Amino acid sequence: MYPPIARKRFGQHFLHDKQIIQRIVDMVAPQTGQHVVEIGPGQGALTVPILKQIGTLDVVEIDRDLIPPLKMRCAEKGHLIVHEADALEFDFAGLVPSGESLRVIGNLPYNISTPLIFHLLDYANIILDMHFMLQKEVVERLAAQPGTEAYGRLSIMMQYHCHVISLFNVSAAAFYPPPKVESSVVRLIPYKEISHFAHHYKHFALLVREAFSHRRKTLRNSLKGLVSDVEWKKIEIDSHLRPEQLSVEDYVTISNRLQPK
Ligand code: SAM
């Protein structure tokens, strides 16, 4: 059933545990009429049951050798729309007419999961929700709270846009070939309205990036190029704290003080 070689460069670890597959499908609970896109369908472990359930599905797959057998497997199951493309460069907005929203799912290739999530955040306004299988450590970082070791740039940028819900862990034995790491399934729900809105998103993102580029330094030191001593006086946040001690809201506050509307 499996190809002799799973391509390492495409992060291929195929799900074969039927209970886990069913659990993911149940968590996604796709409904007929919803627009769902799967990233990296591979051999169709999630594709087939979802297609059967809702009748039509878009998939984005980079490995052209996997596409003909996938199409054959799905032939009688529903309408599969295959996009042979790199998900990192894919225009997700092109899938839906304006006003319609998208549900995104995927057992993601772990080697590109972080840049892929950042790419998807560009489409947060058209995404209803996302369900991903990721390296457990990445899910811990996405969901991490201030003051913890896992808390960092990924936590802040994700939690700025989305409600993050860690669903369940999956052992390496559920995949072929088994990855060297444990995995987790996460649900990400973009906020309809962002409660602490950054007036200048690029500046906010730059501030977070700079703060965490020197995790051991105080904010005053790591943000030297972006926040002057005079400016710190106008901000009600202690500049001697370390970057992991600030909430998402704190970073938005700093950015908005420096770059007013
Ligand atoms: N969904 C299948 C499953 O659960 O068994 C396969 C999951 S496997 C971890 C990751 C899949 O993503 C593979 O099919 C791989 O070829 C595909 N992939 C890797 N990089 C990709 C990229 N940049 N764009 C789209 N698909 C990619």
Write out the chain in H/E/C secondary structure.
CCCCCCCHHHCCCEECCHHHHHHHHHHHCCCCCCEEEEECCCCCCCHHHHHHHHCEEEEEECCHHHHHHHHHHHCCCCEEEEEECCCCCCCHHHHCCCCCCEEEEEECCHHHHHHHHHHHHCCHHHEEEEEEEEEHHHHHHHHCCCCCCCCCHHHHHHHHHEEEEEEEEECHHHEECCCCCCEEEEEEEECCCCCCCCCCHHHHHHHHHHHHHCCCCCHHHHCCCCCCHHHHHCCCCCCCCCHHHCCHHHHHHHHHHHCCC
Q: Whose CA is nearest to atom 12 of ligand 1?
A: 40
Q: What is the mean pLDDT of residues 136-149?
A: 97
**3 CA from centroid of ligand 1 (Å):** 14
How many CB atoms sit inside 10 A of residue 160's CB? 23
**Where in the chain do CATH 3.40.50.150 domains reside?**
8-190
Proportion of the chain above pLDDT 70, given as a percent: 98
Q: What is the mean pLDDT of residues 167-175?
A: 98
* pLDDT, mean over the chain: 95
Give the nearest ligand 1 atom to 87 CA: 24
Q: Whose CA is nearest to atom 8 of ligand 1?
A: 12
Query: What is the pTM for the complete model shown?
Result: 0.95
Give the nearest ligand 1 atom to 90 CA: 24
- Please, what's the b/e burial string for 199-235 (b: 16 or more CB within 10 A of its CB; e: otherwise)? eeeebbbebbebbbeeeeebbeebbeebbeeeebeeb
- Please, what's the b/e burial string for 100-133 (b: 16 or more CB within 10 A of its CB; e: otherwise)? eebbbbbbbbbebbbebbebbbebbebbebbbbb
Ligand 1 contact via 40 beta carbon (within 6 Å): yes
Pairwise pLDDT comparison (260 vs 69), residue with the higher score: 69
Ligand 1 contact via 44 beta carbon (within 6 Å): no
45 pLDDT exceeds 70?
yes
259 pLDDT exceeds 90?
no
Give the pLDDT confidence of 103-135 residue by residue, as tens digits: 999 999 999 999 999 999 999 999 999 999 999
**108 CA from centroid of ligand 1 (Å):** 6
| Residue type (1 letter), 158 | M
pLDDT tier, 260 (very low <50, low <70, confident <90, very high otherwise): confident
The CATH superfamily of 8-190 is Vaccinia Virus protein VP39 (3.40.50.150)
**42 CA from centroid of ligand 1 (Å):** 5
3 pLDDT exceeds 60?
no
pLDDT tier, 98 (very low <50, low <70, confident <90, very high otherwise): confident
**Where in the chain do CATH 1.10.8.100 domains reside?**
201-258
Give the nearest ligand 1 atom to 15 CA: 5
Ligand 1 contact via 11 beta carbon (within 6 Å): yes
232 pLDDT exceeds 70?
yes
Q: Whose CA is nearest to atom 6 of ligand 1?
A: 42
CATH topology assigned to domain 201-258: Helicase, Ruva Protein; domain 3 (1.10.8)
157 pLDDT exceeds 60?
yes
Q: What is the mean pLDDT of residues 161-168?
A: 98
What pLDDT is recorded for position 1?
Answer: 52
